Amino acid sequence: MPPNRKPEDTLLKKPLTLGLSQSYPSSALSTALKHVKIEMEDTDLPDLNSSCFGAIRMDKGPLDDDELKPLGWLHTTNVLKDINLDDDDEEDESYSKENDVGSNTYNGYGYQDDPMDPHRHINSKPPFSFSCLIFMSIEDCPLKRLPVKEIYRYIQDHFPYFRTAPTGWKNSVRHNLSLNKCFRKVDKIKGQSLGKGSLWCVDPDYRPNLLQALRKTPYHPYHHVLPYSPYGFSGGPLSNISSNQNRLSTVLSAYNGVPIPAHIALVERLLNSQLTHNQAHQNSLDLECEVDAAATMMMFRTPPDRRLAEHDRLKRESYPGARPIANQNLIIMGGLAPIQIRPEQPHCRPTLSDLAETALNELGDNRISRVAVTPENREMLKAKCTPSPSGMDHTYSLSSSIKVQADHGYSSDPGDVEMSDFSDESFEDESDMDQESRRLGDSGVHFHLEGGKRVDEKEALLPLKKRPPRMTEEDKKLADALLILSGIGAEAMPAKEAGSPGPEESTDVMMTEEVLEASR
């Protein structure tokens, strides 16, 4: 044992370092800022056709009972009572039968020839590091703590590769638990006999890093451009931005960063943990957005061509009085990826909402509420919608071409926006583009950013690269503070009006326990 680490250290607060390194701690803020910087600079869109992604193997469907119950709070609040979260395999089968999409059948998990299909690459190793696997296993446990044996079991259950793999991987798991700063042994409760070994949990300080690592899994089409938002999920460095945008980022980054559908349930839980935390602090508008997010997550199981209608139905059934406009960007963006990752599909060409999604991720701040097509965008859009013959030189910078408009709050007239407006795939000629521009000019792709900073109209309309940098000194200080506060407890702590709850001291683990306690 090295002199700088005593046995008790495992039970104490570890020094705050970012990253998953086992040996090379670094400055939290500098590393965080490095990631932010990378994301700001890396603005080119990848060629969708040459995307590198694959599948994880799953011999157990992603829709197991256990995995489809993470939206407990929605049940308890009666918000999504009509959404069946307890599908079993039988239901999945009927589901897939009902939802065949052309010759390329949707089988309830994905498409038969989809590289993301969990049934492919049966003998391949999952595309997750051991840190991620351990993280997933712990996060998937209600109490957020597991003995090593249960971690093994989780990994084997979800990644059957390990059922037959040489036993060395268990050594790797233990090695990772011991050496990786992200994991901590939990204090044993006096008198409680757990048998051999301890429980392991995720250090809240490092939870954002694990989430980031999970999102950075290279098995999705945008891994080098849109893998995550540093502001998503548990409230990254700039989590003073609106919770709604966090929700958007959460859904998007969760979806982009984690191969579907194997970890939809996990993503739902991660999302849920944040929702639960926010419930006490958010108004009904946010709740509605959360319902949107939850319903959107459910949509990942719905074939793309049925998502809009299905989402609309769920939304209306689960949230009476819901405004339809509220979910459009979510459902559209949430529903896009399966289309985008299918180059053999004619409608895989990037859509306006694709661009909007990219812009949202790229910008990552809360000043953007509308992405509009402008004349300057036109050529880029056309090019983007026409895959290059080589399939390799197909990158564009949105920063210089997408312009934004300020638009906070809900559209005054949501009814005039058809969801299908945003699923337009291409622009055959200039008149189409003009039409689309006008349409977007009227209704746009709205990002509802409740609580966001107001954007000066002039500034908002500047080409993005000319706009001032996002990371202010204040942001940097906040980033540091939040990293110290860490974890999900740091999510969305905007400087609200007096009386609003301040930063929580509780961690997500504590939060979960509180919720469990309350539900008993």
Q: Smallest gap, in angstroms, from Cβ of residue 464 to DNA?
A: 23
Q: Which is nearer to DNA, 35 or 342 (CB)?
A: 35
CB neighbourhood size of 209 (10 A):
27
Q: Smallest gap, in angstroms, from Cβ of residue 55 to DNA?
A: 17
Q: List the one residue out of 234, 318, 307 whose CA is nearest residue 275.
A: 234
Q: Which is nearer to DNA, 147 or 387 (CB)?
A: 147
Contact stretch for DNA (CB under 7 A) within 4-12, 225-233, 263-271, 346-354: 4-12
Instruction: Kindly tell me which residue out of 175, 313, 465, 477 binds DNA, with binding defined by CB under 7 A.
Output: 175
Q: Smallest gap, in angstroms, from Cβ of residue 225 to DNA?
A: 12
- What amino acid occupies position 298? M
Instruction: Kindly tell me which residue out of 50, 99, 172, 388 binds DNA, with binding defined by CB under 7 A.
Output: 172
Q: Which is nearer to DNA, 191 or 195 (CB)?
A: 195
Q: Smallest gap, in angstroms, from Cβ of residue 211 to DNA?
A: 13
Contact stretch for DNA (CB under 7 A) within 174-182, 232-240, 423-431, 490-498: 174-182
Instruction: Kindly tell me which residue out of 95, 169, 219, 255 binds DNA, with binding defined by CB under 7 A.
Output: 169
Phi-psi region of 19 (alpha: psi -120 to 50; beta: other; left: phi over 0): left
Q: List the one residue out of 251, 279, 261, 230 whose CA is nearest residue 35.
A: 230
Instruction: Kindly tell me which residue out of 21, 345, 388, 400 binds DNA, with binding defined by CB under 7 A.
Output: 21
Q: Which H or E element spans position 374?
A: none
Q: List the one residue out of 324, 424, 417 whose CA is nearest residue 384.
A: 424
219 touches DNA by CB under 7 A? no
Q: Smallest gap, in angstroms, from Cβ of residue 23 to DNA?
A: 6
283 touches DNA by CB under 7 A? no
Q: Which is nearer to DNA, 69 or 224 (CB)?
A: 224
Cα–Cα distance measured from residue 34 to residue 14, given in angstroms and rounded to the nearest whole number: 22
Instruction: Kindly tell me which residue out of 80, 148, 265, 515 binds DNA, with binding defined by CB under 7 A.
Output: 148
Contact stretch for DNA (CB under 7 A) within 172-180, 274-282, 345-353, 375-383: 172-180
Which phi and psi (to 5°) does residue 116 adopt? -85, -5
DSSP state of 192: -
How many residues bind DNA, per CB under 7 A? Answer: 40
Q: Smallest gap, in angstroms, from Cβ of residue 21 to DNA?
A: 3
Helices then strands, counting H and E runs in the chain, come out as 19, 6
Cα–Cα distance measured from residue 413 to residue 181, given in angstroms and rounded to the nearest whole number: 50
Contact stretch for DNA (CB under 7 A) within 61-69, 173-181, 249-257, 486-494: 173-181
320 touches DNA by CB under 7 A? no
User: Could you give the string, one character per residue 98-127, with x where binding to DNA holds by CB under 7 A and - elsewhere?
Assistant: ---------------------------x--
Q: Smallest gap, in angstroms, from Cβ of residue 123 to DNA?
A: 13
Instruction: Kindly tell me which residue out of 152, 154, 219, 319 binds DNA, with binding defined by CB under 7 A.
Output: 152
Instruction: Kindly tell me which residue out of 13, 15, 26, 519 binds DNA, with binding defined by CB under 7 A.
Output: 26
52 touches DNA by CB under 7 A? no
Q: List the one residue out of 127, 46, 136, 15 whose CA is nearest residue 343.
A: 46
Q: Smallest gap, in angstroms, from Cβ of residue 378 to DNA?
A: 33
10 touches DNA by CB under 7 A? yes
- State which of positions 176-215 bind DNA (CB under 7 A): 176-179, 185, 195-198, 200, 213
Residues with Cβ within 8 Å of residue 240, at least 6 apart in sequence: 475, 478, 492, 493, 494, 495
> 145-147 and 199-202: which strand pairing?
antiparallel
Q: Smallest gap, in angstroms, from Cβ of residue 223 to DNA?
A: 8
Residues 276 and 79: beta-carbon distance below 8 Å: no
C-alpha dist (Å) from residue 337 to 418, 447, 508: 20, 18, 29
Q: What number of residues does the chain have? A: 520
Cα–Cα distance measured from residue 500 to residue 495, given in angstroms and rounded to the nearest whole number: 8
Respond yes or no on whether the N-terminal peptide bond of residue 46 is cis (omega within 30° of 0). no
Residues 203 and 10: beta-carbon distance below 8 Å: no
Q: Which is nearer to DNA, 257 or 451 (CB)?
A: 257
Residues with Cβ within 8 Å of residue 286, at least 6 apart in sequence: 243, 244, 247, 278, 450
The radius of gyration computed from the CA coordinates of the chain, to the nearest angstrom, equals: 22
Which phi and psi (to 5°) does residue 184 adopt? -130, 150
Residues at the site binding DNA, with contacts judged by CB under 7 A: 1-2, 5, 7, 10, 19-24, 26, 125, 128-131, 147-149, 152, 166, 168-169, 171-172, 174-179, 185, 195-198, 200, 213, 218
